[in-house]
């Protein structure tokens, strides 16, 4: 039957129920057990002949004359329910056949019963409508095959694909593993503004909106970083946040434009001392969420339990391309020249600035590194907010976690020199003025805060990309409701 015809038929059933004085959408439920609890205590309930009440959605029903088999799903599991005419009575049985459809939510009272085939079931003594469905959930066998439709109607995807619900549960475990890890170590969880008058903490194009009451243009945050550093300046030595950030950039297998991000900052701590804690954190996340330290990430088999390699950015770049990224020219169009020389002689793309070109070339190397590994040696011009290394002023104290050919977490010794920070912001602003929309905005109010003094600070951040990598799925697949273009 066509979808419109099915809907019309159900609307007629709804009208008939109302005419019969039956409320198709009651506010209350008398459920005594969920399906998992019912099946777990089945033998005791059977022996005691105890009356229980279950509730859930009808996923299938089979009419065999005076007997209807119902497959009832309540989100915890499934239970078979038997609706027998001689048990519920003629009127209730006839109304069930007349009013009830697959996808309806019903409530059933009865006793535990074992069928001739040995299936633990509920033998109904009465039933009641909890919510009449107007549309039918697609057949479980055929399901939703179109990826776009699956994301657009995620609620149906969850019903038809149990692994989607399991993924959502794992996502909750993932974030709570991080939260408990940080709280156990004395970090304070904070919430910082999502709407900002200036964006900072990363190089990304922001989303822009309007604040009507203040009559100003504001941005959705691209990072938690500058707010957290102000908290460090204000005397909170250990802070963390798990919250949404927004970057108006491209979408891909591992990139979304709005996603959950985790950052923490710890005063009086060198990032080098903090690396073992990060490795411990990643192992805890993996073990708590997936029950293993061994994963397949794309073409790579990754074992978080093995020793993590230490890699140097500049050594890898010199081995691959033959130039030292710490010494490249920053003159206009030098970036395009680098890409032409070392990647594609015919390149005529948008990248002209040196930093963007060096980063592009680096990513060709990164694709070949399975990890787990810690990368160091990032040139200063690529990290406006990180502290320069005391061993080489041309690089910053950045520690990048590499897994499955990608960056999945970054740690820093944070820049706490306000004069240096002021100069780097001016350089970033010059890039913005020249048309680079991803360069960081100059936030001199943040510099003013730094001028009051900021202690040495270890900072770290990782997004939900880590969860998608561990799950072996795209970031859109692991989001509950990925953003979709309206039809």
Residue 180 and residue 118 share a domain: no
**pLDDT confidence of residue 439:** 74
For residue 265, is it within any domain?
A: yes
Task: Report if residue 434 sits inside a domain.
Answer: yes
Q: What is the dihedral of CA 315, 318, 319, 322, to 10 degrees?
A: -170
> Are 283 and 419 in the same domain?
yes
Q: How many CA atoms lie within 13 A of 474 on its CB side?
A: 10
Same domain? 132 vs 172? no
How would you write the pLDDT of the chain (487 residues) with one tens digit per residue?
567 788 999 999 999 999 999 999 999 999 999 999 999 999 999 999 999 999 999 999 999 989 999 999 999 999 999 999 999 999 999 999 999 999 999 999 999 999 999 999 999 999 999 999 999 888 765 556 677 888 888 989 888 888 999 999 999 999 999 999 999 999 999 999 999 998 877 778 889 999 999 999 999 999 999 999 999 999 999 999 999 999 998 888 888 889 999 999 999 999 999 999 999 999 999 999 999 999 999 899 999 999 999 999 999 999 999 999 999 888 877 888 899 999 989 988 888 889 889 999 999 999 999 999 999 999 998 887 788 898 899 999 999 999 999 999 999 999 899 998 898 888 888 877 777 777 777 888 999 999 999 999 999 999 999 999 999 999 999 999 988 888 7
Entry pTM: 0.88
Per-residue pLDDT, 5: 84
Q: Are residues 247 and 380 in the same domain?
A: yes
| 363 assigned to some structural domain | no
- Of 91, 106, 137, the one marking the end of a domain is 137
Say if 322 falls within a structural domain.
Answer: no
Let me know whether 180 and 270 are in one domain. yes
**Cα–Cα distance list, 328 to 203, 325, 335, 360, 425 (Å):** 20, 5, 9, 14, 20
The total domain count for the chain is: 2
DSSP summary character for residue 440: P
Owning domain of residue 54: 3-137
Last residue within a domain, chosen from 103, 137, 171: 137
Asked if residue 356 belongs to a domain, the reply is no
Domain final position from 106, 137, 168: 137
Is 348 part of any domain?
no
Q: Alpha helices, DSSP H only, in 291-373? A: 313-321, 334-342, 354-366
Cβ-contact 54, 31 below 8 angstroms? yes
CATH label of the domain that carries residue 394? 3.30.930.10
Do 110 and 41 share a domain, yes or no? yes
Cross-strand partners of 376: 312
DSSP-assigned states of every residue in 55-83: EEEEEEEEE-SSEEEEEEE-SS-EEEEEE
Looking at the fold, whether 126 and 254 belong to one and the same domain comes out as: no
Q: In the prediction, which pLDDT does 261 show?
A: 96
Q: Which residue has the tokens 């951040």?
A: 461
Compute how many other C-beta atoms are within 10 angstroms of the C-beta atom of residue 432.
Answer: 14
Q: 220 and 107: one domain?
A: no
Residue at 354 is within a domain: no
208 and 70 assigned to the same domain: no
In a shared domain, residues 176 and 275: yes
Are 125 and 89 within 8 A, CB to CB? no
125 and 171 inside one domain:
no
The alpha carbon of residue 12 and the mean position of all alpha carbons in its chain are separated, in whole angstroms, by: 41
Write the CATH number for 69: 2.40.50.140
Shared domain check, 167 and 116: no
Burial zone of 184 (CB within 10 Å; 0-12 exposed, 13-18 middle, 19+ buried): exposed
Of 487, 480, 483, the residue nearest 155 (C-alpha): 480
C-alpha closest to that of 110 among 130, 136, 128, 133: 128
**317 part of a folded domain:** no
Closest C-alpha to 171, from 484, 477, 483: 477
């Amino acid at each position: 039957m066509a979808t419109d015809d099915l809907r019309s038929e159900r609307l007629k059933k709804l009208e008939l129920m109302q005419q019969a004085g039956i409320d198709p959408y009651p506010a209350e439920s008398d459920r005594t057990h969920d399906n998992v609890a019912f099946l777990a205590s089945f033998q005791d309930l059977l022996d005691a002949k105890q009356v229980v009440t279950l509730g859930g959605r009808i996923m299938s029903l089979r009419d065999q004359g005076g007997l209807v088999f119902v497959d009832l799903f309540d989100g915890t599991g499934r239970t078979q329910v038997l609706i027998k005419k001689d048990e519920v009575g003629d009127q209730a049985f006839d109304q069930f056949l007349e009013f009830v459809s697959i996808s309806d939510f019903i409530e059933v009272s009865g006793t535990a019963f074992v069928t001739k085939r040995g299936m633990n079931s509920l033998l109904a003594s009465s039933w009641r409508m909890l919510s009449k469905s107007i549309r039918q959930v697609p057949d479980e066998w055929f399901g939703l095959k179109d990826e776009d439709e699956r994301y657009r109607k995620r609620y149906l995807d969850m019903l038809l694909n149990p692994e989607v619900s399991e993924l959502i549960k794992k996502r909750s475990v993932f974030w709570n593993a991080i939260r408990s890890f940080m709280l156990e170590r004395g970090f304070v969880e904070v919430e910082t503004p999502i709407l900002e008058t200036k964006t900072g903490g990363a190089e990304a194009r922001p989303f822009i909106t309007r604040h009507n009451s203040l009559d100003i243009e504001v941005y959705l945050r691209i990072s938690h970083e500058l707010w957290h550093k102000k908290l460090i300046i204000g005397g909170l030595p250990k802070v963390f946040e798990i919250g949404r950030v927004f970057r108006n950039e491209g979408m891909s297998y591992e990139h979304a434009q709005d996603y959950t991000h985790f950052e923490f900052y710890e005063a009086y701590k060198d990032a080098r001392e903090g690396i073992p804690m990060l490795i411990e954190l990643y192992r805890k996340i993996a073990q708590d969420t997936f029950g293993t330290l061994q994963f397949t990430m794309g073409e790579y088999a990754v074992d978080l339990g093995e020793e993590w390699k230490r890699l140097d950015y500049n050594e890898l770049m010199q081995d691959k391309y033959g130039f030292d990224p710490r010494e490249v020219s920053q003159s206009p169009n030098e970036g395009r020249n680098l890409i032409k020389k070392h990647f594609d002689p015919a390149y005529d793309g948008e990248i002209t600035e040196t930093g963007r070109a060096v980063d592009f070339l680096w990513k060709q190397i990164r694709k070949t590194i399975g990890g787990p590994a810690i990368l160091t040696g990032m040139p200063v011009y690529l990290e406006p907010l990180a502290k320069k290394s005391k061993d080489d002023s041309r690089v910053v104290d950045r520690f990048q976690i590499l897994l499955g050919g990608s960056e999945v977490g970054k740690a820093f010794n944070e820049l706490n020199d306000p004069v240096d920070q002021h100069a780097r912001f001016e350089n970033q602003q010059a890039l913005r003025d020249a048309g680079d929309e991803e360069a960081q905005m100059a936030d001199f109010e943040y510099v003013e805060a730094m001028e009051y003094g900021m202690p040495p600070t270890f900072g770290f951040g990782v997004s939900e990309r880590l969860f998608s990598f561990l799950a072996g799925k795209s970031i859109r697949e692991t989001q509950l409701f990925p953003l979709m273009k309206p039809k």
